[in-house]
Structure 1
Amino acid sequence: MASSMIFTSESVTPGHPDKLCDQISDAAIDAFLREDAGARAVVECAVATGIVFLAARFAAEAVVDLPSIARKVIASAGYFDPQFDARNCSILTSLVELPKTTREPPPKQFDEEAIEKGVAQDQANVFGYACRDTPELMPLPVSLAHRLARNLDHARRTGAPGLSPDGKTQVSIEYADGRPARIHSISITAAVAADGAGAELADRLRAMALETFGDDGLKPDARTKIHINAGGFYETGGPARHAGLTGRKNGIDTYGEIARQSGAALSGKDPSRIDRIGAYAARHAAKNVVAAGLADRCEVHVAYAIGRADPLSLSVETFGSGRLDDAEIAARLTRSLDLRPLAITARFGLRTRPAHAGDAGFYSPLAVYGHFGRADLDLPWEALDLVEALRG
């Protein structure tokens, strides 16, 4: 990251086709784990005009109605128009039930022997990141883009005429000396009619963009540019306009592309998948490093190999902001954390939380507005429980 630059991050509303797929996939994971904490499942989804395709491989002592889950997610996002209707869109499934002997052991049996046998099922490079841009220790561009996307969806749900469930927001932040200095520009893209009513709605969205950023941080100034449908007005949004796929919005899910991220999807995977839970563990590590005052910016990289429980390596990059050598910070993290897959699962309660999360689920809310820095959710990897150990 250059000390002076303009950086843009984006977010999308729950009705964006890719995010529909992420929500359906994670709602399915919640459903499997709610009934069977030992379930293993990978659920992927694709949507297009009038069609939903679900592919699932699972081993579970559970009965899960995947088409019904998909329809509930689509309805919640607000799709009831003729081109894509939650009630009558076609849902195709490809289901492979694996032997139940491949399920994970019950969480109460996560003793040392089980944890050592719980090896990574795939190769993975996972990354965690934290910085001092926001109180949640997240990069400011993606944090503000999420806030704007929430307000855009709220406007649709509270009666803004002409808005589609499908929307995208972008926020560009001007950095000076490595710190956010001003909001350079704001962009909102949403399906809006090109007639007079559409122009009126565009004015409303422009006003909403200005009101989104209050007194708790940077606000738009006289030079901030606000773009509403800069690519032109369009009336049709959602899967009728562009197809969607699980795992295609990794930058939105993580750090707005200001930091490295794995190329693998986070959504649609149970906790046996190290590319998902390893990313949570790496974020936990990076956030605690910054909260402990050891660095202003920190990226943690953990490497895993198939068939091994212990990671191959843990490395830290503080981009010149560290109070200690990066190698010393990495050594403190290694002493403080057990990063074997089943140890991560046990520490964060990743198999038992869906049963106690209610109808909203534990994984489903992560599928929109990011998996990290979520002040609205009680996420175990956001806890600052390593601060004192790292300072020592």
Structure 2
Amino acid sequence: MRDFVMTSTSLTEGHPDKLSDSISDAIVDAYLLRDQDARVSAECAVASGVVFLSVHVASEASVDLSQITRDVIAEAGYEDTDFSPDKVAILSSVSPHRRTSQAIGSQIESLNATVFGYACRHTPEMMPLPIALAHRLARRLSYVRREDERFAALHPDGQVQVAVRYGDRQPQRLETVMVFSALKTGERFAPVAEADVRSAVVAPVLAELDLPSADASIAVSLEKAETSGGPTWHGGLTGRKNQVDSYGGYCRHGGAALSGKDPWRIDRLGAYAARYAAKNIVASGLATECEVQLSYTMGKRMPLSVEIDSYNSGAKPDDVIADALSEIIDFSPAGLMERFKLAQVPAERGGRFFQDLAVFGHFGRTDLDLPWEHTDLAEQLRSA
């Protein structure tokens, strides 16, 4: 695939799926803050007036699931008639998590997943342009809603879609931008014009875009929340927006959800490791774009294969780069946890880490210090 149009989507924190992800990851943070050996799987579903929680946990730590849920809903900005922090009904089920037979810190062998990571030179954050641009616009939409009184009527449930035309796998021009937000209603909310959203949200982001965009189709859609936004209009589930969380559909991903799982889960840990490997390959100058595939299977602590695809952009053959990668990085779960320190991060950062990943993507984040975004192995890869 060399010449094509790629469309990617980003969501604000009040989208029901992202709200579910945020609640699930806030639960993971809460357990790891109190117990770094906790094993957690937290699933969430939101609907009109109700939140359902299914949590499997192996830990002696005590966590107030209801309070966490209400805090996340409040932070997202919900004050709907039937969905607000003080009115929503919370139904939860907590069950024992089946630990692996080995101790948490050992070389876990009960794992099975194929994961992918990607990096390229299309943006400073080494992400595909469509998803990077969609996240910038969604973050800007969220910012003006919170910080500018003129946009107080914007609902927490928002969405941005971006289409970019590629030629020979390089971004050529911006095709379309679509910004959607539900609107709160009531006398205390001043009307919001679509032209104002275009001026305050879209224009500042596109002004920084080094790509032809004058002919791009730009649309803003604002509709009443009762008919178009929030859990009253559409339900939410943890892990339903994998493309938003990863690379916007530009490349492959493992398929499994990232949010709501403790970092020992190989589908989450491995996805971070694959991104780390791909980004360091691109940062080293060994390729201008790179996809890394790690294949794990039951009974083996190391991946059966470490494969890369440089899309013919590599300075060396792909198998040579893959061999160097395998020599430098210990891709076992224990090795990756030792490198990233993910079980300790929530406590080191005041009890909050994974929740911040639930919105605006897990990769390419310039607003967060993420260990898998570091390029500390670039020089070592060049030497190898």
Q: Among 167, 171, 181, which residue is 1:180 paired with?
A: 171
- For 2:84 and 2:225, the matched residues in 1 are separated by 16
Q: Match of 2:367?
A: 376
Q: Match of 2:25?
A: 26
Structure 2 residue 268 is the aligned partner of structure 1 residue 268? no
- For 2:49 and 2:114, the matched residues in 1 are separated by 36
CA offsets 1:250-301 (integer angstroms, 9 cap, x no match): 1011111101001110000012210000000000000011111111110000
Residue 144 of structure 1 aligns to which amino acid in structure 2?
Answer: L
- For 1:34 and 1:299, the matched residues in 2 are separated by 33
Q: Match of 2:275?
A: 283
User: How does 1:232-271 map onto structure 2 within 5 Å?
Assistant: 233-236=223-226, 237-271=229-263
Q: Match of 1:367?
A: 358
Q: Which stretch of the first structure deviates more once superposed, 200-209 or 179-188?
A: 200-209
- SS in structure 1 at match of 2:29: helix
Question: In 2 relative to 1, CA 89–311 (structure 1 residues): closer, same or farther, beyond 3 Å?
Answer: same
Residue 155 of structure 2 aligns to which amino acid in structure 1?
Answer: S
Q: Match of 2:322?
A: 330
- For 2:18 and 2:192, the matched residues in 1 are separated by 28
Counterpart contact for 1:285–1:333, Cα < 8 Å: yes
- Residue 17 of structure 1: CA displacement? 0.3
- For 1:45 and 1:235, the matched residues in 2 are separated by 22
- Residue 96 of structure 1: CA displacement? 0.5
Structure 2 residue 35 is the aligned partner of structure 1 residue 36? yes
- Residue 304 of structure 1: CA displacement? 0.6
State the TM-score, normalizing by the size of structure 1.
0.91
Question: In 2 relative to 1, CA 61–227 (structure 1 residues): closer, same or farther, beyond 3 Å?
Answer: same
Counterpart contact for 1:13–1:150, Cα < 8 Å: yes
Q: Match of 2:112?
A: 123
- For 2:251 and 2:20, the matched residues in 1 are separated by 24
- For 2:321 and 2:371, the matched residues in 1 are separated by 21
- Residue 312 of structure 1: CA displacement? 1.1
Residue 168 of structure 1 aligns to which amino acid in structure 2?
Answer: Q
Counterpart contact for 1:38–1:104, Cα < 8 Å: no
- SS in structure 1 at match of 2:353: coil
Residue 362 of structure 1 aligns to which amino acid in structure 2?
Answer: F
Q: Among 310, 321, 340, which residue is 1:348 paired with?
A: 340
Structure 2 residue 203 is the aligned partner of structure 1 residue 210? yes
Counterpart contact for 1:40–1:104, Cα < 8 Å: no
- Residue 200 of structure 1: CA displacement? 4.8
State the TM-score, normalizing by the size of structure 2.
0.93
Question: In 2 relative to 1, CA 224–390 (structure 1 residues): closer, same or farther, beyond 3 Å?
Answer: same
Q: Match of 1:309?
A: 301
- Residue 192 of structure 1: CA displacement? 3.4
CA RMSD, 1 decimal: 2.0
Counterpart contact for 1:49–1:243, Cα < 8 Å: yes
- For 1:74 and 1:261, the matched residues in 2 are separated by 29
User: How does 1:83-122 map onto structure 2 within 5 Å?
Assistant: 83-98=82-97, 104-105=103-104, 110=105, 114-115=106-107, 118-119=108-109, 121-122=110-111
Residue 82 of structure 1 aligns to which amino acid in structure 2?
Answer: T
- For 1:94 and 1:324, the matched residues in 2 are separated by 52
Question: In 2 relative to 1, CA 292–202 (structure 1 residues): closer, same or farther, beyond 3 Å?
Answer: same
CA offsets 1:228-260 (integer angstroms, 9 cap, x no match): 12xx83433111110000000110111111010
Residue 211 of structure 2 aligns to which amino acid in structure 1?
Answer: L
Q: Match of 1:387?
A: 378
- Residue 88 of structure 1: CA displacement? 1.6
- Residue 102 of structure 1: CA displacement? 6.6
User: How does 1:50-89 map onto structure 2 within 5 Å?
Assistant: 50-89=49-88
- Residue 161 of structure 1: CA displacement? 3.9
Question: In 2 relative to 1, CA 104–67 (structure 1 residues): closer, same or farther, beyond 3 Å?
Answer: farther
- SS in structure 1 at match of 2:143: helix
- SS in structure 1 at match of 2:258: coil
Question: In 2 relative to 1, CA 190–334 (structure 1 residues): closer, same or farther, beyond 3 Å?
Answer: same
Structure 2 residue 123 is the aligned partner of structure 1 residue 134? yes
Residue 304 of structure 1 aligns to which amino acid in structure 2?
Answer: Y
- For 2:102 and 2:60, the matched residues in 1 are separated by 9
- For 2:172 and 2:166, the matched residues in 1 are separated by 5
CA offsets 1:276-333 (integer angstroms, 9 cap, x no match): 0000000000001111111111000000112321111111111111111111111111
Residue 264 of structure 1 aligns to which amino acid in structure 2?
Answer: A
Question: In 2 relative to 1, CA 25–193 (structure 1 residues): closer, same or farther, beyond 3 Å?
Answer: closer
Unpaired runs of at least 5, structure 2: none
- For 1:103 and 1:252, the matched residues in 2 are separated by 34
Q: Which runs of 4+ in 1 moved over 4 A?
A: 98-104, 197-200
- For 1:247 and 1:10, the matched residues in 2 are separated by 15
- For 1:60 and 1:276, the matched residues in 2 are separated by 20
Residue 42 of structure 1 aligns to which amino acid in structure 2?
Answer: S
Q: Among 134, 144, 169, which residue is 1:145 paired with?
A: 134
- For 2:195 and 2:249, the matched residues in 1 are separated by 30
- For 2:270 and 2:98, the matched residues in 1 are separated by 25
Q: Which stretch of the first structure deviates more once superposed, 36-45 or 205-214?
A: 205-214
- Residue 214 of structure 1: CA displacement? 2.8
Question: In 2 relative to 1, CA 355–249 (structure 1 residues): closer, same or farther, beyond 3 Å?
Answer: same
- SS in structure 2 at match of 1:80: coil
Residue 125 of structure 1 aligns to which amino acid in structure 2?
Answer: T
